[in-house]
């Protein structure tokens, strides 16, 4: 792992699910916020699905495109999954009462964080996904000491 993070090839959908699952398993207690960037169809929601399933969530994981956020309580841990694609102005987030989400011990996974610029907590980790041939490329960049600890644990398996 370099200071810039980890670059991975995800050959197919199961690989994206597996990365999400390993991020869940290696997630330090102190991790609070992860930003997921990439175009529509890059695999952001798929990664979150693998993440929540690994924590024991057995129901559906749908992109909260219209509701902006969906909350889960798998294995006694609170996970808030945001999708800010539909936001036209970051100020709209004021109505959501963000403090209630970026609070305490919850983990926030945020798709389209750039649409909430200025309103969101700083991330521990930024995950950038993009289409690469029939598969995907993932770039994982730590932003905090917690993020660096996390990627060191993950890189044992993924690199
Ligand atoms: P996003 O949330 O970024 O818009 P999705 O997670 O909804 O994207 O995924 C869009 C499509 O990409 C889905 O059909 C999913 O099966 C597919 N997909 C996810 N990961 C991969 C991968 N590594 N290789 C090929 N297809 C993938
Ligand atoms: Mg999505």
- How confident is the model over 89-122, as pLDDT tens digits? 999 999 888 888 988 789 999 999 999 999 999 9
Measured in Å, residue 40 CA sits from the centre of ligand 2 at 7
CB-ligand 1 contact for 32 (6 Å cutoff) = no
141: tokens are 């960049």
Q: What CA–CA distance (Å, rounded) separates 110 from 26?
A: 18
**Looking at residues 115-135, what average pLDDT do you find?**
96
Give, in order, the Cα–Cα distances in Å from 90 to each of 37, 38, 81, 93, 112: 16, 18, 17, 6, 11
H helices then E strands: how many in the chain? 3, 7
Measured in Å, residue 26 CA sits from the centre of ligand 2 at 22
Per-residue pLDDT tens digits for 17-57: 999 999 999 999 999 999 999 999 999 999 999 999 999 99
CB-ligand 1 contact for 41 (6 Å cutoff) = yes
CB-ligand 1 contact for 46 (6 Å cutoff) = yes
**Domains of the chain, start order:** 6-158 (3.40.50.300)
């Amino acid at each position: 792992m370099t200071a810039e993070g980890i670059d991975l090839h995800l050959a197919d959908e199961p690989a994206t699910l597996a990365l999400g699952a390993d991020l869940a398993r290696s997630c330090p207690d102190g991790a609070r916020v992860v930003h997921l960037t990439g175009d529509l169809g890059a695999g952001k929601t798929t990664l979150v699905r693998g993440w929540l399933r690994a924590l024991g969530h057995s129901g559906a994981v749908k992109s909260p495109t219209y509701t902006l956020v969906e909350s889960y309580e798998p294995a006694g841990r609170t996970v808030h999954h945001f999708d800010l694609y539909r936001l036209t102005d970051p100020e709209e987030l004021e109505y959501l009462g963000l403090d209630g989400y970026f609070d305490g011990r919850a983990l926030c996974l945020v798709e389209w964080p750039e649409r909430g610029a200025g309103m969101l907590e700083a991330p521990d980790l930024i995950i950038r996904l993009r289409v690469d041939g029939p598969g995907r490329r993932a770039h994982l960049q730590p932003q905090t000491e917690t993020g660096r600890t996390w990627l060191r644990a993950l890189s044992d398996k993924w690199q």
